Structure 1
């Protein structure tokens, strides 16, 4: 087996989706306190080489063929851009005539190197969780020098030039972005980014649900506000 890992195939919009994690362990430019994967021992925003990439790519090719996948979702433990073979992964998938969906936390979408990679994909997901600078630094613990303002502007500028489908995922967190002021700020961010699709999520991981989760009723209220133009 190679260094990639996979989720069981599932159906979304009548397409067979195969999710692949292309990182052997967590490599991210954030160290969020609520990350379900755990702490970021490897906090980086530059590309790295990993072992077993040749065998991993062959394994991915076999997985695509064996599962009869119709959409490949590169959803990794951390930031997929960090793997210096991410372009090879995308080219392999596209060579099979299949669309690629890539999840990025969104910060690196402001760097030319990564913009070019993301532009190769049919769908890109960017995300936001925290909506004030103080909480962004304290709760998401980004690489030093990162700011919330730049985080948002990177996604805005990326989507202005992107020809594919940009999906914007917002995670509602109790005590951090579930109040009326935060919801309005999120509405403004949505307007700035102008995504093709919005996903509203919340803390479902049992380790964080009690402290950071919100009620079904409040989740529905917020979702309705954020999904209404």
Structure 2
């Protein structure tokens, strides 16, 4: 039985993309209050063994044959790097001659064992959602001992040695990082991390959109500021 799940194939920048979740349920090092998947029942930052991946890889191979993607996007329920077979999964995808994009929240990207895995990917996405330590602890509810400063420096550290395309995704959250002071701080973070590409998004989940979504006008203004550095 396969533990993987998939989204419908789509086209992005002229490439056919197959999006895959490799976790059976949510395992993450954060427990963000606005996570669309829900609470983190399993809050971890070390690798965990799930069922054998053989049947999942057989299913993935069939999916690849049927959909003929050019890029496989590993976008999982939580932090994909905690899957103890993620390196095997990436190697399998690469053996098919396909590019791999990995979404990680980015906190683990300074640890040697995770750097080694992420370096195998053609693209890695790191992200940020709040810009003060108080909000980081209150809203993202990380594993004890985590700090926002380390979170940012971990991504910067990783990207300095990374040869692939590092994408930095910034989520604008009303009341947390949409004021001018926060936008200035985010600009400084972008300069520190020095990503190859910046993506600015906002809350689009219907449950959180009303309370935490910024207006079209404000979002457009912030986006222009952050994308034109």
Give 2:171's aligned residue: 171
Q: Is the 8 A contact 1:2 1:52 kept in 2?
A: no
Give 2:212's aligned residue: 212
TM-score normalised to structure 2 length: 0.99
Give 2:184's aligned residue: 184
**Unaligned ranges ≥5, structure 2:** none
CA shift, 1:121, in A, is: 0.3
User: Aligned equivalents of 1:115 and 1:65: distance in 2?
Assistant: 30
Give the stretch that moved more between structures: 55-64 or 70-79: 55-64
In the alignment, structure 1 residue 58 sits paired with structure 2 residue 67? no
Describe the SS at the equivalent of 1:120.
coil
Q: CA RMSD in A?
A: 0.6
CA shift, 1:4, in A, is: 0.2
Give 1:67's aligned residue: 67
Give 2:129's aligned residue: 129
Q: Is the 8 A contact 1:81 1:104 kept in 2?
A: yes
CA shift, 1:65, in A, is: 1.3
Which stretches of structure 1, 4 residues or longer, exceed 4 Å deviation after superposition?
A: none
User: Aligned equivalents of 1:98 and 1:46: distance in 2?
Assistant: 27
Describe the SS at the equivalent of 1:107.
coil
CA shift, 1:154, in A, is: 0.2
Describe the SS at the equivalent of 1:109.
coil
CA shift, 1:53, in A, is: 1.6
Q: Is the 8 A contact 1:33 1:139 kept in 2?
A: yes
User: Aligned equivalents of 2:185 and 2:224: distance in 1?
Assistant: 15
CA shift, 1:52, in A, is: 4.2
In the alignment, structure 1 residue 93 sits paired with structure 2 residue 93? yes
User: Aligned pairs, how many?
Assistant: 229
